[in-house]
Amino acid sequence: MEFLKTLGIKDKNPGCSTGLKWNETTDQGELKIHSPATSEHIATVYQSSAEDYDKVIKTAEEAFKHWRKVPAPKRGEIVRQIGLKLREYKDPLGRLVSYEMGKSLQEGWGEVQEMIDICDFAVGQSRQLYGFTMHSERPNHRMYDQYHALGIVGTISAFNFPVAVWAWNAMIAAVCGDVNLWKPASKVPLTAIACQNIVGEVLKENDLPEGIFSLIVGSGRTIGEKMLNDTRVPLVSLTGSTAVGRHAAQVIAKRLGKYILELGGNNAIILTPDADLPMSIPPIVFGAVGTAGQRCTSTRRLIIHESIYEKVKDSVVKGYGSLKIGDPLDEKNHMGPLIDKGAVETMMDALEKVKKEGGNILLGGEKLSGEGYESDCYVTPAIVEAENHYEIVQEETFAPILYLIKYSGTVESAIEIHNGVVQGLSSSIFTNNMQEAETFLSAWGSDCGIANVNIGTSGAEIGGAFGGEKETGGGRESGSDAWKTYMRRQTNTINFGKELPLAQGIKFDI
């Protein structure tokens, strides 16, 4: 396809780059990438070796020595240029995201737009890396705190957002003076290679050293574990399952490193009797089926007051009836395939479990085949009547399954159900009742890192810090003051007087 050529994707691609150079390792195995939409072979990527990793790290260490001395606004200028390049390549890169990952073309373009937006945000942030001044208890002393670059930031991204999550981390880290080493998901390395080619153009045009933005494709056992254990990587940002995140946290904590973990979500929307139902249905449907339910912010539970339950159920079922499923590169389709056959089987297993526990499948949950479904990864999204305590409802199934859960009583009863899972990423309530809305946002309301009123759970603006609580990991990326995670904080005291009073009145006769 033409967009592959435009992005520099070849039939066989090296899997390691320092931004200006690509490695030549070919003996560590090949990743043969097929589109989940068509099963067509797209290209091959050579996996990297442990030796490649060490070379990249050493190059990144040298780059950091240069990059941290570049004034932050000038670092922001480089990020600005990356944003401009992404604008040039938005169409082909968005198409590759859809083709390699399977999300709809609108979502593919939207993901690239997120990259552009975070570049714009980071440019402004480069002039706002603020510290604070404090009054000293000692005369003629001044205290303040400031933030310094941390070093190498390792980004381990997941398949469902193959480029945006890297940009959230890499662009903020870059303006902070850090360099970035990216390990993309092995299911979607081509989009990462395309991004590395784009960034490489900017590095060359500005005569910058290699190693500021690096890429390494390889197995978790070989490359991922080295990154987690590497004291030369002070911060690792990882997006993945809770099980993977728990392992990463233990390994990194053992060496007293820093981490950002973006893990599972079991996101719910509460619908109270005061909800504006016509406004709520579209975000509910999109939240449940967007990216084929493979977002960490996907809507998985719909908690509905009993007085409006039947009406909401009918409206959601009707909304699903208008969905178009098929080739994600066809703009008319709302939903593409799941990432692979394993994801399909996981969905089918979940539906079998919920039936055994007493759930009622209202709609969907079938495998699709025939004309227009050229791979085995297409399914119909499912709507299931269930109860919150079901074991399978307590889990995050990375697939388009929406559980309808009935509640009675006050909004506090709904919030208790809402919070009754181990995950804590995104949440929402639809209500025109101010007391209900404020209760949901209070300290005794939603226990998630993201809480919304009258908008859905899916997605987030880059201007706000993104992340969750409980088994979602507790890290924060993207906007607000998330930049502080990518820097080391330092408190400074300056004595501008002619005497040095010691603490607690201690005196030495010297």
Active site residues: 262, 296
How far is residue 410 from each of residues 152, 284, 313, 450, measured CA to CA in Å? 49, 22, 20, 22
d(CA 269, CA 287): 10
The angle subtended at Cα 287 by Cα 281 and Cα 288, nearest 5°, is: 95
Rounded Cα distance, 290 and 297, in Å: 10
Instruction: Enumerate residues 6+ apart whose C-beta is below 8 A from 347.
Output: 338, 365, 379, 382, 397, 399, 400, 401
Buried b (16+ CB within 10 A) or exposed e, 55-85: bbbebbeebbeebbebebeebbbbbbbbbeb
For 20, 69, 75, 78, 489, the CA distances from 63, given in Å and listed in that order, are 12, 10, 13, 15, 21
User: For strand 258-262 and strand 423-424, is the pairing parallel, antiparallel, or unpaired?
Assistant: unpaired
Show the DSSP H helices in 275-321 as ranges: 277-289, 309-321
CA distance 409 to 272: 10
How far apart, in Å, do the first and last CA atoms of the chain sit?
80
Residues with Cβ within 8 Å of 34's Cβ and at least 6 positions away in sequence, in order, are: 40, 41, 42
Q: At what angle do helices 309-321 and 277-289 cross, to 10 degrees?
A: 50
Angle between helices 434-441 and 411-418 (to 10 degrees): 30
| Helix H or strand E segment including 305 | strand 299-305
Question: What is the H or E stretch that residue 242 is in?
Answer: helix 242-254
Nearest to 102 by CA among 22, 159, 186: 159
Which two structure tokens, joined as six digits, stand for 487?
């820097």
Q: Report the distance separating Cα 364 and Cα 404, nearest Å.
A: 14
